[in-house]
Structure 1
Amino acid sequence: MTVKPIIEIENLTHTYMKGTPMEHVALKGTNLYVEAGECIAIIGHTGSGKSTLIQHLNGLIRPESGRVVIDGEDLAKKKIDLKTLRRKVGIVFQNPEDQIFEKIIGDDIAYGPFKMGLPLKEVRERVKWAMSVVGLDFEEMKDRQTFALSGGQKRKVALAGILALKPKILVLDEPTAGLDPRSRNELLDKIKRLNKEEKLTVIFVSHNMEEVAMLADRVYVMADGKDVLSGTPKEIFTDKEKLVRHQIGTPETVQVLYRLTDLGYQVRTDAFSITEAADEIMKLFAGRKEGTEHVQRI
């Protein structure tokens, strides 16, 4: 028996300010299929339709035409239970201020679970768990004022508030924007663990190709309101012709490796991680010691 995807989007279109001089078609027949437990990256230039697409995932925007089915629920139905849908699909937007409502951190993260009618003990446990996932110490941070937080801390609070709902699907818009390198790496590692160990389905929008290479099982490339390309990070980042055609960025490690291949050196261009790329470069130096050509300056 074939298992249906947890997310099915087919031929989705959306037009802002339809029928006015400001009319803008944001989606033009977009498709997206996600299996339960996958981690999917959506990439593309500003204005390609990424944000409009993810707002369809929990009913913030309803389908204008086309088909959107989330965990078996067709969002075209007029009487769909949006509260249940939004507990199932949690979206963390790029601007965390839009998702922080309470003055105190602990109260803000507890807001959603309280609205679900959960007992106080379970709410407290969910808040503690969610704060630990995003790297916020419960005892130290729970009573702090939200207005006094840095941009990176607000992002963590917004994410913790969504995680406290225990969603089946987590949607992230530029999840590490505003974070310092250490916090960024810690958060990426925790998102990866939630995806792989807790089987949480993750969809994220990012301009950071290193994040895409590190996290994603598959990548959707969007341009002009359409999904123009999809595949694994290896399939996307090692097809130089498609990278150029669709103006897709690549991880910095891949850029270095492509430059080496342009200079005639035999290296793997799918070595995305810093460790793998360093190993490829060290092989060239090893060859140099054995009497091969000197490595040219990149």
Structure 2
Amino acid sequence: MMQPIVNVENLSHIYMQGTPLEHRALDQVSIQVAEGECLAIIGHTGSGKSTLIQHFNGLIRPQSGTVIINGMDVSSPKIDIRTLRRQVGLVFQNPEDQLFEKLVGDDVAYGPFRMGLPLEEVRRRVQWAMDLVGLSFQEMKDRPTFALSGGQKRKVALAGVLSLQPKVLVLDEPTAGLDPRSRLELLDRIRRLNREEKLTVIFVSHNMEEVAKLADRVYVMANGQSVCEGTPRQIFGNQELLRQHHIGTPESVDILYRLHEQGYSIDPSAFLPEETAMEILKLLNR
């Protein structure tokens, strides 16, 4: 890997340190993310995923270990947090947590305005960001944010982050609560941002179909540690790893494992739906 845009070394974090309620959320975690990569972070609830990604834009500062983002040391007391947050856009699981303004256009413009950009540049960025996430600028800019659907709120939150033109986009459960159609549409938007805009994407998800569809690489976390990493094919092809850490599988992988356990000669690592279909067709043709 070339010089990573995100480089985490031996990161540990303890909540309520020194009290009876002390909880070690991260324990010597190390991960690297290449520029332009789409990386998934998966693991059981409580494994430390959300705590980890909050370090990427300085919401949490390192207690021990290092977090280097595009050459900036997040643990340095001299770091410019505003510059860091322009480089790393974090979209929370609940979009309501980051909608600040009454109207959609004003909300997407919030970040660029705070950067002190000229009005014409702010307008250009708002239109660009709304187009990227599939929101019509003319139809939606004057729409009240409180009147939006869950899917629309998520798109507005994403557009607000993209209007800062970050180098890294971090998403916490990006499609939680969306209907199937909105979910597929948002996943396609994220994939286009990564492939066409060359945006580095890091996302946390419990949905393994999303991981199979989007990720170039996957980190598996358990008990505050990064226990392994690999391609989706390597991760989903390791049944013992999935069982050990209580990780679900895409439906296609589940079908293949069931057939394999019943004695059929089949490749369980063929995790993409079209590959699964080919494996089943081979069985039928035999």
Question: When the two structures are superposed, what TM-score results if normalisation uses the length of structure 2?
Answer: 0.97
Give 1:173's aligned amino acid. D
Q: Is the 8 A contact 2:93 2:174 kept in 1?
A: yes
CA distance, structure 1, for counterparts of residue 172 and residue 165 of structure 2: 18
Q: Deviations over 1:213-254 (max 9, x none)?
A: 111111000000000111110111101122222222111100
Question: 1:3 Cα shift?
Answer: 3.6
Kindly tell me the number of residue pairs found equivalent between the two proteins. Answer: 286
CA distance, structure 2, for counterparts of residue 81 and residue 165 of structure 1: 16
**Aligned twin of 2:145:** 146
1:206 aligns with 2:209: no
1:22 aligns with 2:21: yes
* 2:78 counterpart SS class: coil
Q: Identity over the aligned pairs, expressed in percent?
A: 69
1:277 aligns with 2:276: yes
Q: Which structure would you say has the larger Rg? A: 1
CA distance, structure 2, for counterparts of residue 242 and residue 146 of structure 1: 43
Give 1:206's aligned amino acid. S
- Mean Cα deviation higher: 76-85 or 125-134: 125-134
Question: 1:178 Cα shift?
Answer: 2.0
Give 2:79's aligned amino acid. I
Q: Is the 8 A contact 2:4 2:32 kept in 1?
A: yes
CA distance, structure 2, for counterparts of residue 267 and residue 67 of structure 1: 43
Question: 1:127 Cα shift?
Answer: 1.1
Query: What stretches of structure 2 of length at least 5 have no aligned partner?
Result: none
Q: Is the 8 A contact 2:44 2:245 kept in 1?
A: no
**Aligned twin of 1:118:** 117
Q: Is the 8 A contact 1:17 1:23 kept in 2?
A: yes
* 2:124 counterpart SS class: helix
4+ long deviations beyond 6 Å = none
1:91 aligns with 2:102: no
**Aligned twin of 2:254:** 255
Question: 1:198 Cα shift?
Answer: 1.6
Question: 1:32 Cα shift?
Answer: 0.9
CA distance, structure 1, for counterparts of residue 9 and residue 135 of structure 2: 39
Question: 1:164 Cα shift?
Answer: 0.8
* 1:272 counterpart SS class: coil
**Aligned twin of 2:99:** 100
**Aligned twin of 2:8:** 9
- Mean Cα deviation higher: 206-215 or 179-188: 179-188
- Mean Cα deviation higher: 3-12 or 40-49: 3-12
Question: 1:133 Cα shift?
Answer: 1.7
**Aligned twin of 2:71:** 72
Question: 1:57 Cα shift?
Answer: 0.2
* 2:193 counterpart SS class: helix
Question: 1:23 Cα shift?
Answer: 1.4
Question: 1:284 Cα shift?
Answer: 2.1
**Aligned twin of 1:35:** 34
Question: 1:173 Cα shift?
Answer: 0.2
Give 1:121's aligned amino acid. E
Question: When the two structures are superposed, what TM-score results if normalisation uses the length of structure 1?
Answer: 0.93
Q: Deviations over 1:12-50 (max 9, x none)?
A: 111111112221111111111111111110001111000
CA distance, structure 2, for counterparts of residue 142 and residue 266 of structure 1: 55
Give 1:280's aligned amino acid. E
1:235 aligns with 2:234: yes
Q: Is the 8 A contact 1:152 1:177 kept in 2?
A: no
Q: Deviations over 1:46-102 (max 9, x none)?
A: 110000000000111111001111111111210100000000000001011110000
CA distance, structure 2, for counterparts of residue 145 and residue 159 of structure 1: 16
Question: 1:272 Cα shift?
Answer: 2.1
Query: What stretches of structure 1 of length at least 5 have no aligned partner?
Result: 288-298
1:168 aligns with 2:172: no
Give 2:232's aligned amino acid. P
CA distance, structure 2, for counterparts of residue 194 and residue 27 of structure 1: 30
CA distance, structure 2, for counterparts of residue 260 and residue 93 of structure 1: 38
CA distance, structure 2, for counterparts of residue 114 and residue 172 of structure 1: 23
* 2:67 counterpart SS class: strand
Question: 1:149 Cα shift?
Answer: 1.2
Let me know the Cα RMSD of the aligned residues. 1.2
CA distance, structure 1, for counterparts of residue 3 and residue 274 of structure 2: 37
